[in-house]
Amino acid sequence: MPSEVHVLLISGGCLTPRHFQALATLLSSHGYTVSNPRLASNSILPPANSFQIDRDLVRDIVKEKTDAGKEIIVVMHSYGGLVGTDAMTGMGVKERKARGQSGGVKWLAYMAALMPVIGERIIDIRKLEEGFVEDHTHTHSFVTDLVLFPKNPAPGFYHDLTDQEQKMWTEELTGFSHDAQRKNCQYEAWREIDVAYLLCEQDRAVPPEVQKTMIDRVRGFGIDVQETRCNSSHCPFLSQPETVVAWINKLR
């Protein structure tokens, strides 16, 4: 594997870098360098403009790596798909090569992730789920004008872990910004950069039917989506990290 391949992990809502640390360590053992940043939207007290901060953060990381000539696989989970889709436009290897630059994003790798079209918000994608009703009081233990926090998240996030593991990872969760919930996608980086999707068949947070709808919708624009399936919950990086690494290895 070329030494210049870098993996950027963009996490889902309510998660912290610790949730991805085992995956990051495993990727490092396979020869990748890894960025695993904390998103501003994932906080009990997020800033009012957290989505823009998230977008700028991951774009700055990619710019630093690509300016050094590195090729990058951007791995996005859940909410991270909204951030990456919006932020990576113009950063692909093909776009940079056309400008006489080396490096760039070679794959957008969606892992049980949102894959929005222009104008969509998180809630719009949630509405792709049959029977979905927007009611935060049933799904979150507290909701303010700034932040929400999930109620009983283990069954939705990682029901395929042991009870002890579920308890441990639930204690690591944090809040999620309302600003990120409300922001819509302004760009479609999947039109410019090669796309892979890891569809998680046991996902209860972003159901497999919704994941498949997003995949087929992008394919409807003439985009090739390399689809891989795994028998995992919403968080395969916790329950099946080796499966995730094997998927990423196919993209190098």
Q: What is the pLDDT of residues 160-190, one digit of tens each?
A: 999 999 999 999 999 999 999 999 999 999 9
pLDDT digits (tens, 9 = 90+) for 195-214: 999 999 999 999 999 999 99
Cα-based angle 139, 177, 7 (whole degrees, multiple of 5)? 105
Is residue 36's pLDDT more than 90?
A: yes
Is residue 139's pLDDT more than 60?
A: no
85/67 Cα distance (integer angstroms): 20
**pLDDT over 70, % of the chain:** 93
Instruction: Identify the weakest region by mean pLDDT among 11-15, 46-50, 140-144.
Output: 140-144
**Predicted pLDDT at 138:** 45
For 76-89, what is the mean pLDDT?
A: 99
- The domain segmentation of the chain, as residue ranges, is 5-249
134 falls in which pLDDT band (50, 70, 90)? low
The radius of gyration of the chain from alpha carbons, rounded to an integer in Å, stands at 17
For 122-132, what is the mean pLDDT?
A: 84
| Distance set, CA 79 to CA 2, 4, 26, 62, 252 (Å) | 29, 27, 23, 18, 24
pLDDT digits (tens, 9 = 90+) for 222-242: 999 999 999 999 999 999 999
The b-or-e profile of 114-142 (16+ CB within 10 A means b, else e) is: bbbbeebbbeebbebeeeeeeeeeeebee
Level-2 CATH architecture, domain 5-249? 3-Layer(aba) Sandwich (3.40)
Is residue 75's pLDDT more than 90?
A: yes
Alpha carbon 72 to chain centroid distance? Answer: 15
**Predicted pLDDT at 1:** 40
Q: State the chain's mean pLDDT as an integer.
A: 94
For 104-111, what is the mean pLDDT?
A: 98
Query: What amino acid occupies position 156?
Result: G
**Predicted pLDDT at 144:** 66
The larger pLDDT score, comparing residue 35 to residue 150, is at 35
62, 86 Cβ separation under 8 angstroms: no
Cα torsion for 69, 70, 76, 79, to the nearest 10°?
-40
The larger pLDDT score, comparing residue 132 to residue 83, is at 83
**Predicted pLDDT at 224:** 99
